Amino acid sequence: MGTLGLILVALGVILVSILWKKMMVLLWRPYVLKKRFKEQGVSGPEYKFRSGSFVEVRRLEDEAREIELDVNSHDILPKVAPYYYKWANQYGGTFVYWVGPIPNLCVTDAEHVKQVLSNKFGFFAKPKVTGALLSLLGKGLVLTDGSEWARHRRVVSPAFTMDKLKVMTKQMAECAQSMIETWNIQMDSTNNEQKAIEVNKQFQELTADIISHSAFGSSYIEGKEVFTAQQELLMLTLASFNGSVSETKINKHKQRLDKKMRNTLLSIIENRMNSKDSLGYGNDLLGLMLESTEKQEGTGLNTDEIIDECKTFFFGGHETTSELLAWTTFLLSTNQEWQVKLRDEVVKECGREIPKADNLSKFKLMNMVLLEALRLYPPVPMIGRVAANDVKLGDIMVPKGTAVSIPFIVIHRKKELWGEDADKFNPLRFENGVTKAAKHPAAMLAFSVGPRACIGQNFAMLEAKTVMATILQRFSFTISPEYKHKPVTLLTLQPQDGLPIIFKPLVY
């Protein structure tokens, strides 16, 4: 055989080995894994070559986009999670579907969920994130794992203790007051007794304002610039997911926005380090984080890591809390008797005065309503993990590399856990606290449970109580006839076409 012949044979061997590897990944492995799950009683939709369940997921999501629900219905799964709804009905609460050739195990059994989220021995890791989403969040608390995560959490936690957060409620109330001032001006100028306001957008602006103040104190204007850039990056990321903007365009913008965010944050941090006084670095999240990192003796965070945590606060704490406010306002608009009860509670506790931190802990009914809103409309409707090793989940052997998804929104509606009225708005189920509200103590998952539970949950609850109390003191409100009940997941659970609410000033 001549040289050419040898080259052709070598190329042939390489080609066959590449094809062989592809076949293993795209055909053989999914076949074997599907069989292995089936033998353990876990089934699900067919695996389609290369695309897995993607085409079916897209089709069901497209159909669901048009669904409009009755305004009093909280039976939102066919609209919000159509493929979970379909497959859970067909295959039971635990089923496997396919993200390309990767199996995705959907878990809704409360004990299984608890096991995944307790993440003993690091068996269930966070999914790897790259590209625009990584720039958006940085390698902050949300994305790190293992000892890196533990080091970050150690530094960040002291900023979220109740005594530190209580100091921030004054600022939260001031931001809420200033939003309400603008509503009052709009009403005065039109001489109207009542006015429809699209609150979803308003709450997004308000929570951006609050997190900017709480994170950066007096530097909040520069801080807000960072968050605006981050918001822009989020929009680009979402556009890249649905393919409406090209990768090249996204990368160009990404670099520009990244640079802008980094430079602004760097300058805020440097200024703060230079202005340390006898009281420390200040009582905002940044100041508390700098103080905490200084105490860690060599295991604290460096400037880049602090920058990433600042990005994480906004990403984690902005839209989530604004959606909690939006769905609570929606539920109080459609359940007037609860609106009256909450107003009575607020007025009894603090009259028309600005609510203070100590008042907030006495808002028992308000707490129950917020929890019920988080149950029925969890701002983070589902989360994911990846099996880092072959691991036993209850009786199921889960192979390494399997994605695991935990749809909170489904678990929050399981009748076995919440009773026959699981789809109904009933805040009283939380009368004896979160752990006693359902048949399993960890059935309420809006802030997740276990070591990776939301670090900002007390912050979010204080913020929501402050804002709702401020609104209830001044207005009665009803849902606008323009409202279309179409919840949708766009990272967080949102009203698809906004949330117009009719506000009427209260006369005392």
The verdict on 172 binding ligand HEM (CB under 6 A) reads: no
Pick the stretch among 47-55, 68-76, 173-181, 449-457 that binds ligand HEM (CB under 6 A): 449-457
Our finding on whether 448 is near ligand HEM (CB under 6 A) is: yes
**With binding defined as CB under 6 A, does residue 462 bind ligand HEM?**
no
- Spatial separation of the C-alpha atoms in residues 238 and 232, rounded to whole Å: 10
* Closest approach of ligand HEM to the CB of residue 335, in Å: 20
Q: What is the pairing mode between strands 102-106 and 95-99?
A: antiparallel
What part of residues 107-126 is at the interface with ligand HEM (CB under 6 A)? none
Which residues have a Cβ under 8 Å from the Cβ of 457 and sit 6 or more positions away? Answer: 447
What is the C-alpha to C-alpha distance for residues 175 and 354, in angstroms, rounded to an integer? 11
Inter-residue contact 404 to 384 (CB < 8 Å): yes
**Does residue 138 touch ligand HEM according to CB under 6 A?**
no
Using the rule CB under 6 A, give the single segment among 64-72, 308-316, 349-357, 427-435 that binds ligand HEM: 308-316
The two structure tokens encoding residue 266: 């760097």
Among residues 342, 406, 356, the alpha carbon closest in space to that of 380 is found at: 406
Size, binding site for ligand HEM by CB under 6 A: 22
Taking Cα atoms as reference points, which of 375, 365, 492 lies closest to residue 422? 375
Is residue 199 a contact point for ligand HEM (CB under 6 A)? no
Rounded Cα distance between 326 and 317, Å, is 14
* Region from 40-48, 290-298, 451-459, 499-507 binding ligand HEM, contact rule CB under 6 A: 451-459
Task: Tell me which DSSP letter residue 48 carries.
Answer: B
> Which span (163-171, 259-267, 456-464, 499-507) binds ligand HEM, by CB under 6 A?
456-464
Query: In the complex with ligand HEM, which residue's Cβ is closer, 44 or 379?
Result: 379
Piece of 93-101, 194-202, 448-456, 472-480 that binds ligand HEM (CB under 6 A): 448-456
Inter-residue contact 343 to 332 (CB < 8 Å): no
Widest CA span in the chain: 101
Helix (H) or strand (E) holding 223: helix 220-241
The answer to the question of residue 223 lying near ligand HEM (CB under 6 A) is no
Radius of gyration of the chain (CA): 25
Q: Which is nearer to ligand HEM, 199 or 380 (by Cβ)?
A: 380
Counting contacts by CB under 6 A, is residue 226 touching ligand HEM? no
Determine the Cα–Cα distance for residues 92 and 85; give it in Å rounded to an integer: 10
**Which amino acid does the sequence have at 106?**
C
Q: Which stretch binds ligand HEM (CB under 6 A): 94-102, 179-187, 361-369, 440-448?
A: 440-448
CB of 356 to ligand HEM, least distance (A): 20
* 279: three-class secondary structure by DSSP: coil
**Contacting residue, 142, 176, 269, 391, with ligand HEM by CB under 6 A:** 142
Q: What is the rounded CA–CA span in Å between residue 281 and residue 272?
A: 7
Residue 440 tokens read as 């399993």
Contacts to ligand HEM from residues 324-363, by CB under 6 A = 324
What is the x/- site pattern for ligand HEM, positions 367-406, by CB under 6 A? ------------xx--x-----------------------
Binding site for ligand HEM (CB under 6 A): 141-142, 153, 312-313, 316-317, 320-321, 324, 379-380, 383, 446-448, 452, 454-456, 459-460
